[in-house]
Amino acid sequence: MKRPVYEFLGYKTLKFDYVHENNGEFNYFSIKATKEIENDVYTLLYFLEFGFKEEQKKSSAVFSASFKINDLNWYNEIIKDNLDVNLFASVSFPFIRSTIYSMTSDSRKGIELPTIDLRIYNMTSGITFTKE
């Protein structure tokens, strides 16, 4: 049986500092990703920050998502164009997005991060999205 070029092993929340004292609306979030590779296991670390209108304090979170690289030739090809971080982010971010909503859902409604195609952004430099 032929194996896929990579397998998604899962994700986990490493840190979640959530501050929402007023009834201000969700205003923005920023995301940045770094990678670690050890024994053919590729791990993305996500660093997120969110803010609300009329609040000074920021909320932040750190998540990790891991992948098993089964085809090193394939992997060596995608890193030539720096596609690895963005590709793996696009696979794992929907799970993280859902977790953020679940963890922030209270009487004021959870944080609904937009559906985003992360393949088109430079995740290692980071990106900020604002709600208009």
CATH number, domain at 103?
Answer: 3.10.420.10
For residue 33, tell me if it sits in a domain.
Answer: yes
For residue 1, tell me if it sits in a domain.
Answer: no
CA dihedral in degrees (101, 56, 128, 10; nearest 10)?
-30
Query: How many domains in the chain?
Result: 1
Distance CA 17, CA 103 (A): 11
For residue 100, tell me if it sits in a domain.
Answer: yes
For residue 18, tell me if it sits in a domain.
Answer: yes
Q: What is the pLDDT along the chain (132 residues), one digit of tens a residue?
A: 788 999 999 999 999 998 877 776 778 889 999 999 898 899 999 999 988 777 778 889 999 999 999 998 988 888 877 778 888 988 999 999 999 999 888 777 778 888 888 888 888 888 998 876
For residue 96, tell me if it sits in a domain.
Answer: yes
Whether the model clears a pTM of 0.75, i.e. scores above it, the answer is yes
Which of the 8 DSSP states describes residue 52? E
